[in-house]
Chains A and B, each alone.
Chain A
Amino acid sequence: MGHICLRGATKSFGDTQVIPPLDLEITKGAFVVFVGPSGCGKSTLLRLIAGLEDVTEGVVEINGQDAKHLPPAKRGLAMVFQSYALYPHMSVRRNIAFPMKMARIPPEEQERRIADAARVLNLTEYLDRRPGQLSGGQRQRVAIGRAIVREPEAFLFDEPLSNLDAALRVGMRIEITELHKRLATTMIYVTHDQVEAMTMADTIVVLRAGVIEQVGGPLELYHSSRNLFVAGFIGSPRMNLIHGDAADRFDAHTIGIRPEHIDIVSTAGVWTGTVGIAEHLGSDTFIRVAIKGIAEPLTVRAGGDANHGYGDTIHLQPRMDFLHRFARDSTRIP
């Protein structure tokens, strides 16, 4: 269950085409993350799959069936919204029961599934409260509970964690990933946070202006980004991108090297530069190094106890195996 396929799907609002023809196949049981900067069409794409928006042209298929004339309710998909979108006038119990009530599931069965969901999501003691009396994380769990009781073909998550504080976000990220492992149901997850994408996804779909830039596993995207956009978007801190003469030496228009793939060496390396700001995270230190002939300072990852002083001169050696080369049209040179 939960095989979703888009063929030549487009979406226009008035005269503005937000999604040019797009093909995408999501196999059943996959955890797919749509990631991209805000306004890249990732939420629109999710809403096309949900049926909350109609495709302008092309086809959305769910389990091999054209979903064109299927309203959202009939698609068998469950969605978790950024704002949680709980029903404020209903208790947690009635919120979770609502989709089952709509599906006319017998009351005893409803009770059983509510109890199950509440146990899994640690909501048992909150079942009789209203959403207004819950914290952000609890509301999020209610929204997830409301989605799982339907036993849907696929879950759709629209930036579900962006209203939570940083600590809670990490916890919920793990909970959602575990939920996927346990249910093995297709999940489509939209986020602008590449860390969420990298940590949760089986498959990441990188979008820019409605166009798919690359589809692949997290490490595939990290190691062999197809173009400059993906290379710059995936990975934290960002990949160092170098243009001009320094890149010409490697027969490329632009070269990219991630901060973790540059070594600080004692004797002369490829580059020599001056240490700028150093950010000490304890586990790592990220050092900004200004290099003559390269416009942007490079970010270099050093050990947690690195103690290069401001203004020191250091030598840098990129690991050649991890050097990314890009052509003038910003595509990767193999």
Chain B
Amino acid sequence: MAHRTTLRRKSVNTFAAGFLAFLMVFPVLWILLLSFKTEGDAIKAPFEILFNTGWTTESYSTVQSRSDYVKHFTNSVVIVLGSTFLGLLVAIPAAWSMAFVPARSTRNVLMWMLSTKMLPPVGVLVPIYLIFRNLGILDTRTGLVIVLMLINLPIMIWMLYTYFREIPGEILEAARMDGARLREEIVHVLIPMAVPGLASTMLLNVILAWNEAFWTLNLTAAKAAPLTAFIASYSSPEGLFYAKLSAASVMAIAPILILGWFSQKQLVRGLTFGAVK
């Protein structure tokens, strides 16, 4: 009896989880579907589209001929890797100091950093835009690297802080006794021990930075525009654009989707680190 009950409960759970997953991924699947339809078909009623239309790759060729995918892709990659690398360079020492030499105000600093994520970005758009204009880094990759690094920094520091806290302080003290200077202690002992944590922090940051649209759209025009701007350029107030917009979206999210798929184990482990043990 007991066995059958668990089996039934298991299948119910599996079904519920599958249904939820389907709901979440549905918009992405719908975009994928629309990208293979003609503009005329793409605005038909959903059931029509599903059962009564043909398939075409016309939108992909149009998108490719109309804009420079490679340029946008390169911009995205440069901005994402640049901001992640720069972010780690700042976040590792910051998280080290808060995890291993906490001061009375450490807790407050952490909360304060988190609170910056509660601020609506549009609230600081004008000042940042003006600063960028005065510094001459509007529509440059450098500018975007800086701004993306800054907005993701609190999350990186928080994640690394949580990992570092799990590393026994005695091991770092042992390194200090063994003659390691601060830099050697971090490079030879802390970082190798924190590799899983560093990897998931990097991955999460890559995903966040790749998908970031607000700042990338507002601070770029043509030169440094990443894939988010590439998608946005296919949305227009009039005319038919659903199929082309969908094709552009698929092209923009495919790389990060594939990366996410292959690293999901690492990501889940990273995000739940310390929660279960």
In the complex, the answer to whether A77 meets B193 with C-beta atoms within 8 Å is no
Say whether B173 contacts A150, CB under 8 Å: no
Q: How would residues 142 to 175 of chain A score, 1 for a CB under 8 Å from any chain B CB and 0 otherwise?
A: 0000100010000000000000000000000000
Residue in B176, B180, B184, B188 whose beta carbon sits within 8 Å of that of A52 in the complex: B176
**Binary per-residue interface labels of chain B (175-193) against chain A in the complex, 1 for a CB within 8 Å, 0 otherwise:** 1111111001000110011
Chain B residues within 8 Å of A83, by CB: 168, 170
A71 to B193, CA, bound (A): 23
A189 to B173, CA, bound (A): 17
B residues in contact with A50, CB < 8 Å: 177
* Min distance, Cβ A302 to any Cβ of chain B, angstroms: 45
The interface size of chain B toward A, counting residues with CB under 8 Å, comes to 17
B170 to chain A: which residues have CB within 8 Å? Answer: 81-83, 85
* Identity of the chain B residue whose Cβ is nearest the Cβ of A78 in the assembled complex: B177
B178 adjacent to A146 (CB under 8 Å): yes
Q: Closest CB of chain A to B53's CB: distance in Å?
A: 56
Known: A98-B188, A102-B184. A87 touches B179 (CB 8 A): no
B174 an interface residue at 8 Å Cβ cutoff?
Answer: yes
**Given A89-B193, A98-B188, A102-B184: A150 in contact with B171 (beta carbons within 8 A):** no
Flag if A85 contacts B179 (CB, 8 Å): no
Per DSSP, chain A at the interface is loop
Chain A: how many interface residues by the 8 Å CB criterion? Answer: 22
Residues of B close to A52: CB separation below 8 A: 173, 176-177
Partner of A98 from the list B168, B173, B178 (CB cut-off 8 Å) is: B178
Chain B nearest CB, measured from A149 CB (Å): 10
- Whether A150 touches B179, Cβ cut-off 8 Å, given contacts A85-B173, A88-B193, A89-B193, is yes
Q: Which residues of A contact B192 (CB under 8 A)?
A: 87, 89
B168 touching A85, Cβ below 8 Å = yes
Whether A72 is near chain B, meaning CB under 8 Å from some CB there, is: yes
Given A87-B189, A88-B193, A89-B192, A81:B179 Cβ within 8 A = no
B176 CB contacts on chain A under 8 angstroms: 52, 71-73
Asked if A73 contacts B180 (CB within 8 A), the reply is yes
- The chain A residue sitting closest to B188, CB to CB, is A98
Q: Which residue of B lies closest to A156 (CB)?
A: B177
Given contacts A81-B170, A87-B175, A89-B192, 15 further A-B contacts (CB under 8 A): A52-B173, A52-B176, A52-B177, A72-B173, A73-B181, A78-B178, A79-B173, A79-B177, A83-B168, A85-B170, A98-B175, A98-B180, A99-B179, A103-B179, A150-B179
Q: B residues near A, CB below 8 A? A: 168, 170-171, 173-181, 184, 188-189, 192-193
Q: List 14 A-B contacts (CB under 8 A).
A: A52-B173, A73-B179, A73-B180, A73-B181, A82-B170, A83-B168, A85-B168, A85-B170, A86-B174, A89-B192, A89-B193, A98-B175, A98-B180, A102-B178
